[in-house]
Structure 1
Amino acid sequence: MTSATPVIRLLDLRETPLDATEVLAAVDDPTAGGVNLFVGVVRDHDGGEQVDHLDYSAHPSALERLREVAEGVARDFEVVALAAVHRVGHLEVGDTAVLVAASAAHRGQAYDASRALIDRLKAQVPVWKHQVFSDGNDEWVGTP
């Protein structure tokens, strides 16, 4: 189902730290009764290994692909507004890697749209994670 005027208000890939306040402000709307924000943070472990840091890389088409993903979520869910921002470059444990937000008339719609946005972003947007572990080993995640 689609709303009459779904709005994608903020999409970006950035090397600078992300700001949840900016993303929430982007989806703020007097017609929204529910706003959901997802914050993805770099954790200190993965697969039983201690993570030292991550480096994210994005394909040149990543921002356009992110727009396509957001447009699909806007078509599939009753939303007022959507926003998504992903970090690229070097991130330390505890840094925010991704923010997605959805506003809708009701909380359930905001939750559903937000979850779809992050799930589709992770599955379809060509952003790749290079994990470096404390022991010096490393691995690439999400590469083709």
Structure 2
Amino acid sequence: MAARATAGQAAPVTVRIQAGDFSLADEIAALTGGRTDIGAVVSFSGLCRDEGGRLATLELEHYPGMAERAIRAIAEQAVERFSLNGITAIHRHGAIAPGGNIVLVVAAAPHRQAAFDGAAFLMDFLKTDAPFWKKEHLKDGGAGEWVSAKDADDKAKARWAKARSRSE
């Protein structure tokens, strides 16, 4: 049965880091099942790119315990800031082939803009604040590179310091 928030109770926050794949449909059902207070659900799925056909797998490592705490803190901020009815964040670790799922965020809210903003906020902070590392393994057998942080991710995160949600 899905976790339900009632008056005076915190909205459900689900955070998992796992090696196995996830199902978008199952996660939406778990977040929304039996709920009539939700008016919008927004999901984001991040997939492994093939980097122009050269990537065999992407290896994802994380700092166990710390990564979950970091994502939970971000998710709880999103719930508070955007008055979400609930949020789910799942991130995979291990070797992931091109086309495979890496990350899932599902945000539920009374109205669409809050759900969009909550999902974007969580992803923008997850990319910069959660302790994950990515290493490329190439099809030609060559040693892949550890993927560097991107300036664009820092800029995406910085926008939240300037702007409040349009739903607020």
Identity %: 30
Q: 1:10–1:26: 8 Å Cα contact kept in structure 2?
A: no
Q: Which runs of 4+ in 1 moved over 3 A?
A: none
> C-alpha distance in 2, partners of 1:142/1:70?
24
Greater fraction of residues in helix: 2
Q: Which residue of 1 aligns with 2:36?
A: 30
Between Structure 1 and Structure 2, the one with more strand by share is 1
Question: Following the alignment from structure 1 to structure 2, what is the Cα–Cα distance between the partners of residues 120 and 16?
Answer: 23
**Residues 85 and 142 of structure 1: CA distance in aligned 2, closer, same or farther (over 3 Å):** farther
Q: Secondary structure at the match of 2:89?
A: strand
Q: CA deviation at 1:142?
A: 5.0
Give the drift of 1:80. Answer: 0.6
Displacement of 1:138 in angstroms is 1.0
The 1:118–1:26 alpha-carbon spacing in structure 2 relative to 1, beyond 3 Å, is farther
Of 49, 53, 58, the residue aligned with 1:54 is 58
Q: Give runs of aligned pairs for residues 1-144 of structure 1, distance below 5 A.
A: 5-28=9-32, 29-45=35-51, 50-60=54-64, 61-135=66-140, 136-141=142-147
- 2:127 and 2:133 map into 1 onto residues whose CA distance is 10
**Cα RMSD between the aligned structures?**
2.0
Cα deviation digits, residues 60-100 of structure 1 (max 9, x gap): 21111111111111121121110000000110011100000
Query: What TM-score do the two structures reach when normalised by structure 1?
Result: 0.87
Distance 2:124 2:20 in 1: 23
**Equivalent residue letter for 1:58:** H
| Bigger Cα displacement from structure 2, 106-115 vs 17-26 | 17-26
SS at match of 1:141: coil
Q: Which runs of 5+ in 2 are unaligned?
A: 1-7, 150-168
TM-score normalized with structure 2 length: 0.75
* Number of equivalenced pairs: 139
